[in-house]
Structure 1
Amino acid sequence: MKKDKLVYSSAERARKRKFRFYGFWTLGILVSLILLNFVIMPLTGSIARVNEVTEYYGDNQYVRIGQIPLISAHRAGGDLAPEETMKAFELCMAPEDYAVDIVEFDLHITKDDQLVLLHDSTVDRTSNSREHYGKSNVQVKDKTLAELKELNFG
């Protein structure tokens, strides 16, 4: 019994040959780049290394050479409680929990010149302002303290 052979047109054969050619070249380039990046460059020292800092002559009290690094609570412990609230401050400063050295927070001024702690200049991400005001991009500077107290911050 004679097997049927698939017959391709010359255009189809050329297309397959072209695809195979470019596929092999692409694969070869990718393998070469991976070898260059992860094997050759680190072995030859052509990747710049960062030298250890052993001396500091500035006046920044938070630069600590040869000591344990300071731990900072970004957004004042926002992963523990609603960010930049007294509860977050208490939790991130408690020695049995985290005992951070620095509490980072941001001050903003309301429309009636009151200081509030909030990481962003808008209240969209941390409150229900979109539902409450029916819009986004609600700026702290455009609201009074009383208006901000109407929102749920967590």
Structure 2
Amino acid sequence: MQTLHVLCRNAKADDVESLYNLINGYAEKGIMLPRSREALLKNIDTFVIAEIDGKFVGCGALTRLGDDLVEIRSLGMSEGYKGYGIGGLLVERLIENAQKQGISKIMALTYAVSFFVRNGFEVVEKEIFPEKVWTDCMSCPKRHACDEIAVMKKIL
């Protein structure tokens, strides 16, 4: 496997189109919830992106769910860039951002359980996150048959 120099940085307005294309590509496969360009721009300060040689290759975001809880969402990689450790770098950067905000717990709903476990998360019951249920799950098309797995990591 070749070594790639990956830069993880906070997103800026110029990244909206790349974010939109990646996230909505996953949404078409039923893996992520779709996001509008307007919503991405409004929440641009919650995103981090990964670049290789100035090319957008992945992203992730943090959404605050409570005083001491954030969720990793919209975590994804462009085709051809999975398996290079980019997702782990993005999660690391998101954890650092959460710690700077004084957040003690970080969670995700995911199909990639083994990825999160490798990054120090543990599988937990979704029901321990009423903040998530009332924030997003009520409007999700899968709300009555959610097949995602909840994971959490204590970070402070």
Highest RCO, 1 vs 2 (Cα 8 Å, sep ≥ 6): 2
- Normalised by the length of structure 2, the TM-score is 0.19
- Normalised by the length of structure 1, the TM-score is 0.19
Q: Return the structure number with greater strand share.
A: 2
Structure number, greater radius of gyration: 1
